[in-house]
Amino acid sequence: MLNDAQKQHYDDHGFVAPIDIFTNAEITAIRAEIEAAEKKWHDELAGAGRNNAHYVLPVLDAITHDSRILDAVECLIGRDILVCGTTLFIKPPHTDGYVSWHQDARYIGLEPHNWVTVWLAIDDVDEQNGCMRMVSGSHKAPLQDHIDTFGEDNILTRGQTVPDIKIEDSVPVIMKAGQLSLHHPRIVHGSGPNHSDKRRMGFAIQSYIGADVDQVIGKIWVQHARGDDTYHYHQHAGRPIKAMQADDLAFRHQANECLSDIFYAGADRKGKF
């Protein structure tokens, strides 16, 4: 559970990190299992295949339902918790891929904002390899206008960007592998390229939502995580038993197509993710 100081930091700044979750042995085993899956099923975990990979990989599904993570989430959004999506964020060494300044709530269509994004460090993350950076306190203001850039190296779907944000106005979220960050739907955040000699991988649960949160743009599926789904806004998805089963892959494809429609709603074209 989050302590009072951590909850206050989240309220004041819009994020809290680092939070110790997995031991070194646990995160090492998790990383090895993900890397083995990448090697065996490369095409299914590349590009857009990194979206909703928890539907096809039990190791990622287990993370999303880990009671230690859910305990922290419950402190922020209450006991009725649903999982509505995940993304593997992978930055190879010495590459220019980055995530532009944005607010999750601006384009994801989840209302009200009783939800939180969890970001698990699979590898150590720091400023050199492109850790997240948060604009502290920006969650207290209304949603800001974004500009679609479709930048070549921008990892976001449409390169959506809040203009005129300076890096010196942000706080780096430095974490060890196995640690967690939690951030508010409206906080402005982003991350830089990986200029280090090693790959940087993170697993984002986008997001844990309260049962009172509806999808106002399109259609999503959710998994039950804790408590009760008293509002019944969404269809529920199952959990994978084995990796990369045909039925799970077909469902993940369907879910990702609907997710793409949400992310690109109102855009004049679609990007690579």
Distance (Å) of CA 7 to CA 19, 76, 111, 269: 12, 7, 22, 40
Q: What is the DSSP string of 116-170?
A: EEEEEESS-B-TTTT-EEE-TTGGGSPPPP-EE---TTB-SSS-EE-TT--GGGS
Burial class (CB in 10 A: 0-12, 13-18, 19+), 260: middle
pLDDT of residue 8 exceeding 90, the answer is: yes
Cα-based angle 37, 20, 172 (whole degrees, multiple of 5) = 90
Cis amide linkage into residue 112, ω under 30° from 0 = yes
Cis amide linkage into residue 67, ω under 30° from 0 = no
Query: How does pLDDT run across 64-102, given as a tens digit for each residue?
Result: 999 999 999 999 999 999 999 999 999 999 999 999 999
Query: How does pLDDT run across 45-60, given as a tens digit for each residue?
Result: 999 899 999 999 999 9
- What type of residue sits at position 116? V
Query: How does pLDDT run across 147-199, given as a tens digit for each residue?
Result: 988 888 888 888 888 999 999 999 999 999 999 999 999 999 999 999 999 99
Residue 227 tokens, joined: 């408590």
| The domain made up of 4-263 is a member of CATH 3.40.640.10 | no
User: pTM of this prediction?
Assistant: 0.95
pLDDT of residue 131 exceeding 90, the answer is: yes
- Whole-number Å distance between alpha carbons of 66 and 225: 9
pLDDT of residue 273: 57
CA-closest candidate to residue 199, choices 5, 18, 38: 38
Domain boundaries of the chain, sorted by first residue: 4-263
Q: Which residues have a Cβ under 8 Å from the Cβ of 4 and sit 6 or more positions away?
A: none
Angle between helices 4-13 and 67-77 (to 10 degrees): 60
- Whole-number Å distance between alpha carbons of 171 and 147: 22
